[in-house]
Structure 1
Amino acid sequence: MRQETPDGRTGRDARCPAHHLPEDPGSLVDPYSALEDLRGTGPVVRVRLYGRFDVWWVTSYAAAVAALESPDLASDQRCVHPDLAEHVSPMRLGLIDKDPPDHTRLRTEVLRALSGDLPTFRRHAEARCAELVDALVPQCSTDLLPALIEPLVDETTGAFLGLPQRVDTALRTAADRLLRPMASIDARRQILEARLALRRHVRTGPPPGSGHRTAPGLRGDAPSDEWVDVLLQMYGAGRRSTTDFLATLLLDFLSQEGWSARCRTPRGRRLVTDEYLRLDGPIVRGVWRFARADTYLAGTPIAVGDIVIVSLALADRDPAVFPTPARLDPERAPNRHLQFGHGTHRCIGVPLVHALADTLLATLARRFPEARTPGDDPAHRCGRVSVFRGPARVPAALGSRRPP
């Protein structure tokens, strides 16, 4: 698997020239055009990130599924080559960053708790969403991000995980810093500091017997380090990616003619949700994997220790799987998008995201069916530094309010 040049150089310094990506594609108004340029060069492409290190970038749907299913590509960053270790974010600490048998054990426990408590989560989300929507002022313009989306996601996610009800600016700032791109050594330091701050927050959760909803693992005064990390990832990454997705969904969908009519049925709301996840989901950079052995992916040799990034954004716009992939199709079915991942590491929060999206669309369509947004204007995408993609504002003209 090791390559050699005529002058005798071997290994990573003998690789094919790498393509350069924009430093932060997720912050671009249209990152997809830049990413699409890679698709024509092959299903697995050598890419230089932040001008500092090289990775393998997976561009096709078939190669993405193969990578996510491959036993030779690990989720555990300990498989990365020592030369690349400093470029891996210390945010990689939770369930999706583990391999069997630890991943199997933890996933089973989380799914058991989630399946039993999903109806409770749904009722809580519906009640809180109704309160927030009722607090909106008719015939006015408002930013739905701080007025509706952020409090809905913050409070329902925190309650489900059994975290303290206090959701202040300092906590949200620490959670967002955990999700900074690894663009510099200073970013790595900020991520480490945020991780420590969030650990302290998790450990100050409600005491046993307080009647507060708890997540698995928060069964005693001192949750294990393993469970603290699981909860950190579920709160930090889960909260931010869900907030970003719901903001993207409302910003564009409420600008579409007849949007409220499409929300009259659960099927209509589900089709819309899945199409926006596919078309403009929160994960642009992709899912990281680390080669635990020399292997091949779509015919491309991958050396042990290499980083492989599965571009979910490109996979979900692969014309071989999705006809007219750059066009919004609210009736697209089937819609086998990969925004939640694939296989054994598929996101366990899928039913929570669907419940929140369904509740939000149904409540807004019932109470403010005339609400309108200006669409995905570039001005609403500014100022974001995150591994996830989402707008900074969701301005909406609400129109009249219908009775409950």
Structure 2
Amino acid sequence: MVDIETPDRIETIDEDFFADPHQHYRRWREHGPVRRVRFPDGVIRWVILGHAEGRAALADPRLRKNIAHVDALVSAKRETPPMDPRQLALVTHMLNIDPPDHSRLRKLVSKAFTAHRVAELRPRIEQITGALLDRMDDHDEVDLLREFAVPLPITVICELLGVPPAERDDFQQWTGDLVGVVGLEEERTRASLAMIAYLTRLVRTKQADPADDLLSGLVQVGEDGDALTEAELVAMSFLLLVAGYETTVNLIANGTHALLRHPDRLHALRADPDAIPDAVEEFLRYDGPVNLSTVRYTTDPVHIADIHIPAGELVYIALEAANRDPARYPAPDNLDHTRDTSGHLAFGHGIHFCLGAPLARMEAHIAFSTLLQRFPNLHLSPTATTINWQSSTLIRGLLELPVRLR
């Protein structure tokens, strides 16, 4: 009979964690694949590190998703007031809820991300990519994050949803405040309320005057007579904008950073551009855009890897840790685009698997293929002695990426 235990040791997320979470995960993993971790807000949560355990947890119906219940748990543990109802409504989208509501919402939006619909976007993505690289070509040194990794996906997702060009800078700022530095509650509240007001206006505009874009399609009644409410439309728009923007930005930037730090891999990829799709999967595994998954919780005691997690606990899956689990990927800290990356968890797993994964992959394929061809001497700037990362438990993203083009 296997003994079920609760780990006594409590790990801590501090500023060093954001600079290099991998060194923390390696140390934590020495004590087991499931750890208790004190987050920057002082609340102790459970973090699953192992690949097998993480993959199973992502599809485990015992680990629940209901953002209102999560908010109540966090408020009780922190002894702080619950979230503003308007902010709560903004994050009550399909990523933060379970079936049957999740199934209904995903069905209504999934038709926009079919393989055929994504393939139709390729010429426009290639056009946007070319224009951004043309603009970069006027300089010898640029911040690749600001000049390329950010504007490419933000332009694509905003065009897909029908966000006017003049309003994209505001959206980018709000998104940064919402997913960025931990502990800045006032900034997040301000950004949330601004985003709610903006998206509500945008939804009403599409309802009154629909165009040929995704959001206009979402305001229409579905084939079976089902339709999204205004609150659901606002929350869905928020999810699609943020998920479609942040993940792809960091896939491109993190992948470029990893490649420039491994010149041998960079040369190999230039010599064999057909391997770029495999390289994108390795970038996702090696330093993916999402660090910790969105939160789950237990309603009853759960046993994972012989560890007892009581009821009423908050649980995260460390996607970055799972993707570098040596039990799944040999020499996991080595960047190697020839390895078998199957089963990586960068886009999640189970019913909440990222709906926009095909679009993110296509954007990355185009971005890396065109970038490496256009600038064969691309390298890190000598000023990039220290690379700064976002202080975010959700996002694994750079704050800048200075490069020399020639």
1:200 maps to what in 2? 197
User: What is the distance in 1 between the residues matched to 2:53 and 2:16?
Assistant: 21
2:319 alignment partner, one of 309, 312, 315: 312
1:98 maps to what in 2? 97
- Change beyond 3 A, Cα 1:80–1:169: closer
2:119 maps to what in 1? 119
Unaligned runs of 5+ in 2: 1-5, 222-227
Q: Which has the higher helix share?
A: 2
Identical-pair percentage: 25
User: What is the distance in 1 between the residues matched to 2:311 and 2:75?
Assistant: 13
Describe the superposition over 1:288-345 as per-residue Cα deviations: whole angstroms up to 9, x where unpaired.
Answer: 2111222222222222221111111111111110000011111112432101101111
- Change beyond 3 A, Cα 1:106–1:367: same
1:67 maps to what in 2? 57
How many pairs were matched up? Answer: 381
Q: Which amino acid aligns with 2:255?
A: L
Describe the superposition over 1:184-222 as per-residue Cα deviations: whole angstroms up to 9, x where unpaired.
Answer: xxx3343233222112222333545564423342349x9
User: What is the distance in 2 between the residues matched to 1:101 and 1:266?
Assistant: 43
1:298 alignment partner, one of 293, 305, 319: 305
2:225 maps to what in 1? none
1:159 CA drift (Å) = 1.0
CA contact (8 A) 1:251 1:394 kept: yes
- Change beyond 3 A, Cα 1:100–1:210: closer
Q: Which amino acid aligns with 1:191?
A: R
1:342 alignment partner, one of 346, 349, 353: 349
Kindly indicate whether residue 102 of structure 2 is the aligned counterpart of residue 141 of structure 1.
Answer: no
CA contact (8 A) 2:161 2:214 kept: yes
1:363 CA drift (Å) = 1.1
User: What is the distance in 1 between the residues matched to 2:45 and 2:285?
Assistant: 24
1:227 maps to what in 2? 233
Runs of 4+ in 1 over 6 A off after TM superposition: none
Is the partner of 2:252 in helix, strand or coil? helix
- Change beyond 3 A, Cα 1:22–1:134: same
1:370 CA drift (Å) = 2.3
User: What is the distance in 2 between the residues matched to 1:211 and 1:217?
Assistant: 11
Task: Point out the more displaced range, 386-395 or 80-89.
Answer: 80-89
TM-score by length of 2: 0.84
CA contact (8 A) 2:94 2:105 kept: yes
2:67 maps to what in 1? 77
2:12 alignment partner, one of 11, 21, 33: 21
User: What is the distance in 2 between the residues matched to 1:388 and 1:228?
Assistant: 22
1:380 alignment partner, one of 358, 378, 387: 387
1:52 CA drift (Å) = 1.7
User: What is the distance in 2 between the residues matched to 1:340 and 1:108?
Assistant: 18
1:230 CA drift (Å) = 1.5
Q: Which amino acid aligns with 2:320?
A: A
Is the partner of 2:166 in helix, strand or coil? coil
Describe the superposition over 1:246-295 as per-residue Cα deviations: whole angstroms up to 9, x where unpaired.
Answer: 11111231452463652576751111111111111122233321112222
CA contact (8 A) 1:264 1:365 kept: no
Unaligned runs of 5+ in 1: 1-14, 400-404
1:56 maps to what in 2? 46
2:360 alignment partner, one of 353, 375, 387: 353
Q: Which amino acid aligns with 1:149?
A: A
1:3 maps to what in 2? none
2:30 maps to what in 1? 40
1:389 CA drift (Å) = 1.8
1:69 CA drift (Å) = 1.6
CA contact (8 A) 2:36 2:45 kept: yes
- Change beyond 3 A, Cα 1:38–1:218: same
User: What is the distance in 1 between the residues matched to 2:235 and 2:164?
Assistant: 16
Q: Which amino acid aligns with 1:67?
A: A
CA contact (8 A) 1:93 1:229 kept: yes
